[in-house]
Structure 1
Amino acid sequence: MGIGRTVGIALGGVALLGGVGAIGFLGVLALLTVADGSEPAEAAPADPPPTVAAPAPDPQPAEGDWADQAAALTGIPPRALAAYVAADAYAREELGCDVGWNTLAGIGWVESHHGTLQGGSIEDDGVARPGIRGIPLDGENETMRIPDSDGGALDGDTEWDRAVGPMQFIPETWRIWGVSASGEGEPSPHSIDDAAFTAARYLCQTDGTLAEPEQWIRAIRSYNDTADYQQRVAATAEGYRTLTADIPLDAEG
């Protein structure tokens, strides 16, 4: 399924908790707190906080379709939001896996502020420009030590691997899991469409779904195994869910 089938086909699932069942992300945060022994994270990452950081009681959607309303309420760039929704629909239809567009959006915010880090943006073709490349994974600055695995083809570094693109994949992970959202050509980690589809595919490989809190935690842990990261993603995803909860599902997309 390509990006061309974005919002319209996914409207039946956009108001779900985002992969997690009735306990919701607040339950996930509680479980993470118990497991880690720390206090829950704030409602969204800081520096600077997105619009989801503050409670938003009963947000009233503006005129327009679901995507326009959701983008306006959450501050997610419309092009990135379309990719997250399409990737969630792909996971549900093709993989039988509940991921949740807001789970993907939570990761996208924590990893790259939806492709806007380093002064960039996601352009109309879905590519983040300039390309986003993380710091060298050389064992310093609390990073893993991962020597170059791709000759610098993806990350431009022939000595150490670096995380790449709006969803921050390392080259070896991308080589194994990378998928083209359009089904054509080589997938690119700089494309928010390909990166979101790949993230959904990668998250689903742990348990085949993120429908239950424990499954959600295991999936996010496979992406980044730190309690702080899991809490930030959970809090941000819950914020996005809350802000979009009152948008009518029959809004045309």
Structure 2
Amino acid sequence: MAARRKAPAARARRRSAALAVGLGVAPAAVVVLLAACLPSTPPQAAEPAGPPLPPVSSRWAVAPPPAVAVAGANPSRAAAVDLVDGAWADEVAAATGIPRRAVIAYAAADLTVAHEQPSCDIAWNTLAGIGWVESRHGSYGGATLTKRGLVAPRILGPRLTGDGVAAIEDTDGGALDGDDQWDRAVGPLQFIPETWHRWGADGDADGVRDPNNIDDAALAAARYLCRSGPLGTERAWRDAVFTYNPLTRYINDVATRANEYAQRVELG
């Protein structure tokens, strides 16, 4: 896809994530941990080589990516979901197969964080990679995204009882996951309730932070990944995604999908 115009302060390249179960990919026996339970520094043991860090093409380093925002977009003055270039979203959805509503959510999160933390260098296609791995962009189990960005019906991960998964007793009285005994990951980006309590965001500026809303979840994921600093190197990117789900396979799956989306947009 040829560049339509330069994107103000936004780059369609790298990074992302938040604390997930990986409904669509991760095996049932995978142990999922809260960020607070992870070591402050990921293990330094040698890690099998994975797919290259997005972006896939060196052309992205010298040419502007396709526009993700309308001209003059300013996330500090309007909800970012209203600033995403509609024509660009149509083109990306057609090229990648990502639902248009999800494309808008990922791009809006990119725009917001690019405004808040320009050095983070996160981008829509990394968020899309995570969204695909976690819930197939809100479609897992037959769910769909509404016009408001809500997943219907809700997507819930397995009860974290310790049986093949982490043991995480209830932290929210069942308010988010409907379970007052054990926690469950919630929504299209699969946030655990305690993590949502700390990182939940209001991506669509409706005054509500809802992990079942893809706008809110995508922005929370972007901020969560950027919390450790810039993600401009492959090591930093992989370390950030590791905190979302500490599995090499997970990191590689996200990188592969993010690369694929970047290629399809570039070549579409």
Q: Judging changes above 3 Å, is the alpha-carbon distance between structure 1 residues 156 and 137 closer, same or farther for their aligned structure 2 residues?
A: same
CA distance in 1: counterparts of 2:167 and 2:6, whole angstroms:
39
User: Which of the numbers 79, 83, 103 marks the counterpart of 1:81?
Assistant: 103
CA distance in 2: counterparts of 1:9 and 1:128, whole angstroms:
32
Is 1:212 aligned with 2:233? yes
Tell me, which stretches of 5 or more residues in structure 1 are unaligned?
1-7, 21-33, 42-63, 248-253
Report if the CA contact (8 A) 1:128-1:192 is conserved: yes
User: Which of the numbers 18, 37, 60 marks the counterpart of 2:14?
Assistant: 18
Is 1:131 aligned with 2:154? yes
How far residue 9 of structure 1 moved from its aligned partner, in angstroms, is 10
Q: Judging changes above 3 Å, is the alpha-carbon distance between structure 1 residues 9 and 115 closer, same or farther for their aligned structure 2 residues?
A: farther
Q: Judging changes above 3 Å, is the alpha-carbon distance between structure 1 residues 216 and 15 closer, same or farther for their aligned structure 2 residues?
A: same
Secondary structure of the corresponding residue to residue 126 of structure 1: coil
Q: Which structure: greater helix fraction?
A: 1
Report if the CA contact (8 A) 2:146-2:152 is conserved: yes
**Which residue matches 2:169?**
147
User: Which of the numbers 74, 96, 101 marks the counterpart of 2:124?
Assistant: 101
Report if the CA contact (8 A) 1:134-1:164 is conserved: yes
Secondary structure of the corresponding residue to residue 65 of structure 1: helix
CA distance in 1: counterparts of 2:50 and 2:226, whole angstroms:
25
> Deviation string for 1:10-46 (max 9, x for gaps)?
83566643259xxxxxxxxxxxxx9333x747xxxxx
**Which residue matches 1:58?**
none
How far residue 206 of structure 1 moved from its aligned partner, in angstroms, is 1.7
1:82-231 paired onto structure 2 within 5 Å = 82-96=104-118, 97-141=120-164, 143-207=165-229, 209-231=230-252
How far residue 65 of structure 1 moved from its aligned partner, in angstroms, is 2.3
CA RMSD of aligned residues (A): 2.5
**Which residue matches 2:263?**
242
Paired amino acid for 1:124: K
Paired amino acid for 1:18: R
Paired amino acid for 1:35: A
Using the size of structure 1 for normalisation, the TM-score is 0.74
Report if the CA contact (8 A) 1:9-1:89 is conserved: no
How many corresponding residue pairs? 204
Paired amino acid for 1:100: A
Report if the CA contact (8 A) 1:15-1:244 is conserved: no
Paired amino acid for 1:17: R
Identity over the aligned pairs, expressed in percent?
45
